[in-house]
Every structure is written in structure tokens, then in C-alpha cells.
Chains A and B, each alone.
Chain A
């Protein structure tokens, strides 16, 4: 099965229908993109976050897990802040824990992994930032002058 770039509608469904989010490669270093993203997710969303990093205990007051398998709650989205060559193994773990979405962050792409994820019934996002996509559908991106590509006559919540 071949991965196809998700539409805005599909991304908005992932953003609005997910609850538990694992952040693999989360970091406590405040200049790292993953710390940046996690600050936003903690402060501006209602997601339950499960940061994953074998070398951290606690980031922004959130308990850190050593691996995906250590998390006992069901995970909706696995967000990957990992090198492209580490993604294959991570996808295998995501499939094992029955995650619904495998999300590769901005700047991260691996089409083989994406195709295998789709073949295993996961929704796969590549080269997108979950902070930016959340902000696209919740007003933040709009306030920063970016094109959200959202057109609707309904009042946004």
C-alpha cells in the first residue's frame, strides 16, 4: 500500500479525535524542537502526553517513559522526533501497541516506513509538526499570519 499525503480534513480528524499522545524523542533541553512542541501541547491543548526518552525522568511536570511499551494506557498518536533510520523499529513498536496514528515530525520523512504503516492499518503523517497542525485548526497559526487553508462559515471552537 502506498502512503498518500493526508488531506487537511484527515489531519483535522486526527487532531480533534485523539486523546493520548506519545512523544518519542522528547527532550528537556529548552532549545530543542521537541521541547518547544511539548510546551505548546502542555499549555495549549487537552491531550494526555506520554513523553518517551530513556534518559529523562520528567519534562514540564509530565512523567517520562523509557519506551513505548512501558506505557500501559492505549496510545492514539505516536509522534516521532527521531532520525529517519530509527523509524522502522519505532513503527514496529507502534504497531505492537496498537497505536492509531504514526506521526513523523517536520523535516522527517521515510516513505518505506510510511507505506508499511499504511499497510498495517495505521494513519501516517510525514514531515508535519503536530504543534503547527493543532494550531492550524485552533486559531494559533492564523494569529501568526499563516495560511491555515481553513474556509468555513461555522464558528470555530
Chain B
């Protein structure tokens, strides 16, 4: 075994996907099996008691899914990972693991609309309350923390406002209060930023987006750093005896491995949003070219944003990569390779012109997704963010004239050609 720290592209191809020990298969086999035979009853007993590593049932673990989990953990610089059926279910497992009725979460208000409803509708029903902080200042997050607060949540680059979070500042606030910082890094991917390097404890992704890239497959993942002290007394479930597993304690028996072991053996077991082996295989194929795709995504996004910025038919452009972005210091610190390729702009003529623009595109796809290799556009006020109240819309930075674009890796001249012709039809004016 080589004694070497391999690079990001090498890890994208090789981490977690070594030659199959049973067959020698060079690519990861799709272990399309619900369950796995035991050697004998003692083997089964040890596996069920977590005293032995191995496969039992694909809701809890599967060899193809494990290959994906190790790959993502390696790319994020985390201890390990638990893959799930979607990004939302990844987040949900974390909330279910760390909070109980009566607990509290402090979250950025600049979140994907689905995360806001998960917290403000579903989790609220179970008695877990969330305070949404509109400001970007870690001090304002500190003010919102209560004795029963269990975690701070943020995205790196908010969708669609393009606000950049101060990850290091938020991690400091969280750790001063003995709670973890959880970061949704879906739009940035570990190619652009590894939040754990800036103090984040838990990183989640919707793998459906840039990680997979191909737009064929839903998936999510929770990565943990292994550095948070879960035995600090704030998290009773990490220290209490677990009768289902022979009175072990997650922190006492597994130490730094305790959080992810619990997440798999309790939350994934009980809630059940498992990733399928076929989905894991497809997501692995995508991740193999993550670096190359992200380079093209950010280069194209920069050119598209600059084109829009100079166009008289556009009222504003919220792209964190533009020279005059107000958070330039945070961009340079956290995202020197680029701020991603999802951003928004306003079409002059307001809501009506924005909707007409969407209806006039010929190459760009109008759909509710981001992070596809193809360029995507949507009008959030009438689609993804429709469920939000006016106040929540305002907090999330969504205006009526806002068009969200997820710049793909087509020839950038073709993307700009389509935007130009659709804007001409929508506004009745040429550039």
C-alpha cells in the first residue's frame, strides 16, 4: 500500500472503488441484493449487535452504496458518510438524530425552499423549532442560540440569492456553544470547498445535483468530520445506553465513529430512506468526473454572468463570482476556484417578462433542478419557492422578476446565444 496523499481527481476515481475483492471487477459491481446470507447464527448475532462489520440488509448498508459513501467521505475530508435516497432525507436523518421534541435549531434564512419547509413545517410538527437568521453575521446566529439549541445550519452559497456563508465564523459560534455546524454544500461540491477544513462538523449534499451531474439519479449523503465531541453532555442519546444493541453507548463504544454508526444503525434503520445500489452506481459514475465538470461549470457561469451584467435588458445579476459582489472577501477566502454555477438575475419588465423569457428559451431547459450538465432555468416565484410566504420569499432573497439559472457545460457561446434570443422575445429589445 502506497504511503501517499493522493490528489482530488485521483480520489474521485479511486477512493472507495478499489478492485472488487471477490471477482477482481475494476468498476464497482452493482450488488442488487436486498439481503446477505450469514455464515452461521453466531455471525448473524454479532452482526446484529454491531460487534462485527458486514452486510445484513440493504436498508442499512449495501456494498455498492458503501463504495459511494467512502468516495464522498474521502473527497470531503470526512471520517465517513451515510448515503440516503435524496438530499432532503440526508438532512432529515441528521435532524432526527440530534433533536427531540422541545429542541431548537438555528439556521440561515438563505436556504433552499425545500429545507425551509422541512424545518418549518414537518420538524415543527414534531416539536422542534427553528429560528431563521436573515443576516450573514455569525454574531446574529450566536444571539439566536438557546440552551436547547442542538445545531447551526447553513448552505455555502445560498440558492438563489448567492449569499456566501462565513463558515469559519459560524463554526466558532457553534463550538463556543458545544453544538455542531451543519453545512449543505450541494451547490459547491467538495471540488470548490471542503467545509470541514473550515470547522464544519457535518456536511450534507443532494448528490442529485453536481455530484452526479448527469441528472439521472436522486441521492443524498451525510458526511461527518469525526472531530466533534459528542460526549460533551449536550447530546444525551450519544451517552445513554442503547437497549436494542446490548446496552452499548454510541460515544463510549464507538468514540469518533459513534455519530455515523448511530445515524446508520438507528436513523437509517428506523426511517428507511436508503439509496439503492443502482442509484449509487450511477452517482459514482458521475463523481468520477466531478473536477473536470466543475471547472467547466464555473468557467461558463462566469462568462454567462458577465454577459448578463453588461446587458441593458437585465436589471440585476446576483452572481458571487462577479467583481463587484459585496462579499468579495468571503469569496476569496472560501471559494477561490469559483462560486458554482447556480445564480439568478432579474429581467427588466418584472414578473411578466421573466415568465416570457422562460417560455422563449430553446436550448436551456425549463425544469426544477440544478447542477445538471445541461443549462437549466426556472422562475422560482411561480415554482420552487411558491410554497413560501411573501415574508419568507423576501428572507430567502427571491424577487418576482428573478430567473434562476444553473449553467451547464455546453459550449458557452450557445448558452449565451439562447439567452440573447429569449431576452429579445421577452422584452422586445435587442442587446
Contact = CB atoms under 8 A, between A and B. Distances in A.
Nearest to A138: B53
A142 B16 contact: yes
B14 A151 contact: yes
A155 B53 contact: no
B264 interface: yes
Contact of B52 (A30, A43, A152): A43
A44 B52 contact: yes
Contacts of A12: 1
Interface string B371-384: 00000000000000
A8 B52 CA distance: 22
Interface residues of A, number: 37
Nearest to A33: B253
Contacts of A147: 15-16, 70, 73-74, 78-81
A31 B2 contact: no
Interface residues of B, number: 52
Given A9-B1, A36-B253, A132-B257, A144 B80 contact: yes
Nearest to A29: B247
Interface in B66-90: 66-67, 69-70, 73-74, 78-83
Interface stretch (B3-11, B149-157, B167-175): B3-11
Contacts of B10: 151
A152 B264 contact: no
A153 interface: yes
B70 A145 contact: yes
A145 B69 contact: yes
Interface in B331-367: none
A145 B51 contact: no
A152 B246 contact: no
Contact of B81 (A39, A139, A145, A152): A145
Nearest to B80: A146
B248 interface: yes
Interface in B171-192: none
Interface string B222-260: 000000000000000000010000111100110111001
Interface of B: 1-3, 6, 10-11, 14-16, 18-21, 24, 42-43, 46, 49-55, 61, 63, 65-67, 69-70, 73-74, 78-83, 241, 246-249, 252-253, 255-257, 260-261, 264
7 tightest A-B CB contacts, nearest first: A140-B53, A146-B80, A145-B69, A39-B51, A9-B3, A31-B247, A147-B73
